[in-house]
Amino acid sequence: MNYIEEELYSRFVELMPITCIDVLIHDDEGRILLVKRNQEPAKDKWWVIGGRLLKDETMLEGAVRKAKEEVGLDVKVEKIIGVYDEFFNTSIQGYPTHTVCIAFLAKADNLLLTDVDYTCYGFKLVSYDPYLLRVVKDSGILERK
């Protein structure tokens, strides 16, 4: 995979939409994992696992990578939930951010977290952000047993 130097990536954020992967992770007990972000965009908000898709990485590979990188979980991706535009007023780079997010539903055998990424610092099961509610609704997970 290829990583982009921070200065160049900052220009991308300023000038164009960024393709991202979001992963709604659940377990057999019906719990959903959300993380509290400690950096922009969405700083201090409860959010799904996710981040930028890398060049030469498939969307599925990106979903598995983000789950492993951010919370140390091995997941089985079950389906694509949907594709969403998300607009933020800011970013780490200081520019408004436009992301095109491909959201996946994925299952973890358990939600015991072994490794936590620097972008998150807390965990819970529910959120009231309109985007997250849309992703959870579209996943169909609430309609399961």
Per-residue tens of pLDDT for the chain, all 145 residues: 567 888 998 999 899 999 999 999 988 877 788 888 888 888 888 889 999 999 999 999 999 999 999 888 999 999 999 999 999 998 888 889 999 999 999 999 877 766 555 455 555 545 457 777 788 888 887 666 4
pTM of the entire predicted model = 0.79
Closest CA to 110 of 31, 22, 24: 31
CA dihedral (77, 83, 84, 88) positive or negative? positive
Structural contact between residues 95 and 87, judged by C-beta atoms closer than 8 angstroms: no
Where are the chain's structural domains?
6-140
Peptide bond into 96 cis (omega under 30): no
CATH number of 6-140: 3.90.79.10
